[in-house]
Amino acid sequence: FVFAILRRSSAGAWSSAGRLRRAMGPDAAPYTGAAPSAAEAMDCSAPVPRTQSSFSAGKQVLLKGGTGESFGIESAIGAQRQTPSLRLFLAVFACCFSPVLFGFSMGFTSPVQLSMEGAVKGGVRPPSSLSVFTSPQFTVYAAILNIGAVPGAFAGSMAMDRLGRKRALALSACPHLVAWFGTAFASQPLLLQLLRMLTGFAVGMGTAIAPSFIGEVATADLRGPLGIAIQLSMNLGLLLVNVAGTHRPVVQDFEGESFSNWRRLSCWGFALAAALATMAWMPESPKWLAQQGREQEARLALRQLRGGDTAAEEAELLGSADEGSAASTASSSGPTGHSRRLSDYPMSLLVAIGLLAFQQLSGVNAIMMYTTAICHQAGMENAELSTLAVMVAQVVLTSAACMLVETAGRRSLMQAAGLLMFAAHMGLSYYMAAIERGWWAPSWLALAALGIFVVGFATGLGPIPWLILSEVFPVEVVG
């Protein structure tokens, strides 16, 4: 199914950008972040200067391709180079604490499983203050994060539309702070599970808000790399929780053995949530401010996020907001109005929802939550070190994806990643079945399967869906 929608969409939205660039030629002005209006897209015959005629040729290519829309391709008319400011990178850095917390929360169960379940290690059980779950209770604890994330995503979507992107992100830090503070001191299994669900709620909020904020504040040149920064931040969160959870001062010595103290590890989550709260002092999304009619604040926010002259971008931003309001009014009064709504782009919705759904159904959550347990079952002498190697590889490969995605292409990477992940799941499934039946099952097979899965996910199904999410829709409806 993923291959089918990628093959179908590649003939439209994703390949449209390349056809437009080739039609415009090397002398075309750089992009500015606004899609051409419907009237411009229909009028391609009038004589225009060099840049405009190039752009008109590009629009004709798009119309001949059957798309009828620009899908967020930036206009070359009145183009002006967008220069990012230091404040932009600080805002994105603060925003990325949300996906870091996502990865930290998802991987939290990996280093602390043995301590929480009271499993014997070297003939020694962990302290009674750390042993709070039975094995079935811990399974619920690990999985309940996803249950809390579902309502959190809807709450985040509503909050960012009503309160703004930066305030909604800062607000999402509150349930994180409560959940991690409570986890550090709670001992009752039910209370810990409820706090884990609250963490999931906060994770869901951030998942809905962070991509929109980055997509709206980034310059056209940086939108792709900064979009991949979301997945990279998740991987950094996974790496952080496994490094912190297996080293001092989190590790606690007890009767000659070392156990991960999940109460101390919760304090790290609290610190990350406090860092996310700094979003309250960052610039708001100029796009959202313009949509709310707050023109002066939109201009100020844009000037804070850009390092050069913003006059042309300000005019285009405010003009797009006025045009969007007029189009919305016209669409409610007659069939001829052009409304930029998600429902107007069914193929884009299919691509975006399909990719994100299969990202979650790929098994990544189960593997990342139970990496240490898988390594223990594989009989590896140092399961914690093997887990750490897997997380480091994921960070490195996701960083490499930032460069590969522009050269190898989205579809090629996704198809190669799908085949790798399929092979990894088959290898890991055989290994687990072989252990139960006494077949040939070397421990390196499990580690190789984990490594292949990480290669596939980190270079394909992990970062690319977040990037495509901002590319298959016009800028006006990305939020």
Mean pLDDT of 303-308: 89
Confidence of residue 148 (pLDDT cuts 50, 70, 90): very high
Gap between the Cα atoms of 218 and 91, Å rounded: 10
State pLDDT tens for residues 165-201: 999 999 999 999 999 999 999 999 999 999 999 999 9
Mean pLDDT of 206-216: 90
Taking CA 155 as the corner, what is the angle to CA 153 and CA 158, rounded to the nearest 5 degrees?
A: 110
Can you name the residues that pair with 257 across neighbouring β-strands? 254
Name the more confident of 16 and 378.
378
Maximum mean pLDDT: which of 49-58, 94-103, 383-392, 405-414: 94-103
Rg of the Cα trace of the chain? Answer: 24
pLDDT at 235 over 80: yes
Mean pLDDT of 373-391: 78
CB atoms under 10 Å from CB of 281, counted, come to: 11
Q: Give the mean pLDDT of the chain.
A: 78
Gap between the Cα atoms of 69 and 63, Å rounded: 8
Name the more confident of 293 and 39.
293
User: Is the bond leading into 249 cis (omega within 30 degrees of zero)?
Assistant: yes
Find out whether 113 and 260 touch, Cβ atoms under 8 Å. Answer: no
For 259, list phi and psi in degrees, rounded to 5. -130, 145
Let me know how long the chain is.
479
Which range has the worst mean pLDDT, 58-62, 82-86, 287-291? 58-62
pLDDT at 48 over 50: no
Maximum mean pLDDT: which of 266-275, 344-353, 403-412: 266-275
- The predicted pLDDT at position 455 comes to 87
> Above pLDDT 70, what percent of the chain?
76
For residue 478, the 8-state DSSP code is H
Gap between the Cα atoms of 287 and 321, Å rounded: 8
Tokens representing 322 are 């006025």
Gap between the Cα atoms of 280 and 168, Å rounded: 9
Which range has the worst mean pLDDT, 103-117, 135-149, 464-478? 464-478
- The predicted pLDDT at position 12 comes to 41
Name the more confident of 104 and 319.
104
